[in-house]
Amino acid sequence: MATDPTAAGPVTMPATAYQPLLNPITVVGPQFCAQYPVDLVIVKKVMTISDGNFAVTDVNGSVIFKVKGTLLSLRDHRVLLDAAGKPIVSLQSKMLSMHRRWQVFRGESSDPKDLLFSTKLSSIIQLKTELDVFLAANTKEEICDFKLKGSWFDRSCTVYAGNSNMIIAQMHKKHNVQSVVLGKDTFAVTVYPNVDYAFIVAIIVILDEINEDKID
C-alpha cells in the first residue's frame, strides 16, 4: 500500500505498540493490508433504514468503504463498496439458521466458488456475542479460523486469530456529542498490522446485523 499521504487509502498510525504478523492475514485482498495499524471510524445513521446507512472513514473523515443494503428481500443482504462505489464483498444471511449464519462472497456474487468466509454464533444462547469465522477452505468447520468476542451494546469487541489470544483488531465506542445530535452512531476500529481491514469491516457489519435481529 502506498504511504504517500496524498494517495487514496486509510490514514495509518505509526507502528509503535504493534508488531506486524509474519504471515499477513489476507482474506478479501492484499491491497487491504498495511504493515502498520490502520485506524478506521465507522459511522452508522441510527434513524435510517435505507441503503447506505454505514460509512467507513479514516481518522480524517475520508470515506474508505460504504455499506449498501437490500430492502424487501427474503434474506438479509449487504454489499461492501469502496469509496468509488465498486462492490468489494457481498454479505448474505442464511435463512432459518439457529446460529445466525452469514456467508461473504467476492464482489456481488452468491456463487459458492466465490465464497470467501462464513460466520456463525459460537452458541445459540449468549450473554456476550461470540462469533466464529471460517474461511472458505475450512469446510469441516471443526476449529474456527478467527473469533470475534464482545458486545454490540457496549460497542466493544475484539477479533482474534482462531481460538488463540492473538488480537488482530479491536472496536470501541467513539464518544462524540455532535454524532448524537445528528442521529449517528460512531465507533472506532483499530486493525492490527498485516491484517486485511476490508475483512474486519465485513465481520463488524455482520455483528451489527445480528444485533439488529435481536432488537427486532
pTM attached to this predicted model: 0.83
* 145: Cβ contacts below 8 Å, ≥ 6 apart: 117, 133, 134, 135, 138, 161, 162
Bigger pLDDT: 71 vs 190:
190
- pLDDT band for position 5 (cuts 50, 70, 90): very low
* Phi, then psi, of 143 in degrees rounded to 5: -130, 130
- pLDDT band for position 159 (cuts 50, 70, 90): very high
Which pLDDT does position 7 carry in this prediction? 46
Which pLDDT does position 44 carry in this prediction? 79
What is the mean pLDDT of the segment spanning 91-112? 85
Which pLDDT does position 123 carry in this prediction? 74
By 3-state DSSP, what share of the chain in percent is helix, strand and coil, each rounded to 5? 15, 40, 50
The grid cell for 57 is 472513514
Q: Is the pLDDT confidence value at 91 over 80?
A: yes
Decide if 90 contacts 101 (C-beta within 8 A): no
What are the DSSP calls for 87-151, one per residue? EEEEEEEPTT-TT--EEEEETT---GGGEEEEEEESSSS-SSEEEEEEETT--S-SS-SEEEEEE
